Chains A and B, each alone.
Chain A
Amino acid sequence: MKTLNEIRLLFWRKVLETLRQPIWIITGLTTPLLYLALFAPLLNGMKAMLGNGNVLNLFVPGILVLMAFGSGMGSGWIVIWELQTGVIERLRVTPASRFSLLMGSVLKDAAMFIPPAVLVILLAAVFGFELHWAGLAVLLVLLFLLTAVVSAISTSLGLILKQIGSLAAVVTGFQLPLTLLAGVLLPLSIGPQWLQIIAHFNPMYYVVEAARALAGGSLANTQVLLAFLVMLPLSVIVFAWSTGVYRKAVA
Chain B
Amino acid sequence: MNNAIEIHHLTKSFPAAGRGKKAPIQAVRGISLNVAQGEIVGFLGPNGAGKTTTLRMLTTLLPIDDGQACVAGFDLKTEPQEVRRRIGHVSQLGGADLSATGRENLLLAGQLYGLSYAETSRRADELAATFELGELMPRIVRTYSGGQKRRLEVALGMLHRPAILFLDEPTTGLDPQSRAALWEQIRKLRSAGTTVFLTTHYLEEADELADRLAIMDYGRIVAEGTPRQLKQLIAGDAIVIKPRADGAIIQTIRASLAGQPYVRAVTVQKESIHLYVEDGAKSLPLVFDHLKTLNIALETVTLSQPSLDDVFLKTTGRSMRDNATKEGIQ
Contact = CB atoms under 8 A, between A and B. Distances in A.
Interface of A: 2, 5-6, 9-10, 13, 16-17, 20-21, 84-96, 248, 250-251
A143 B112 CA distance: 30
B85 interface: yes
Contacts, number: 72
B112 A89 contact: no
Interface residues of B, number: 30
A130 B59 CA distance: 56
B84 A93 contact: yes
A88 B56 CA distance: 13
B153 to A, nearest CB: 8
Nearest to B84: A95
Nearest to A92: B61
Contacts of B87: 93
B88 to A, nearest CB: 8
A250 B156 CA distance: 21
3 residue pairs, one from A and one from B, having the closest CB atoms: A86-B93, A86-B95, A90-B95
Given A85-B93, A91-B112, A93-B87, A21 B99 contact: yes
Given A94-B112, A250-B61, A20 B99 contact: yes
Interface in B208-229: none
B25 interface: no
B192 interface: no
Given A90-B96, A93-B61, A248-B63, 14 more contacts: A10-B108, A13-B100, A17-B97, A20-B99, A20-B140, A84-B93, A85-B94, A85-B96, A86-B91, A87-B97, A90-B89, A94-B109, A94-B113, A250-B62
Nearest to A249: B61
Contacts of B148: none
Contacts of A91: 95, 112
Most buried by A among B88, B96, B99, B104: B99
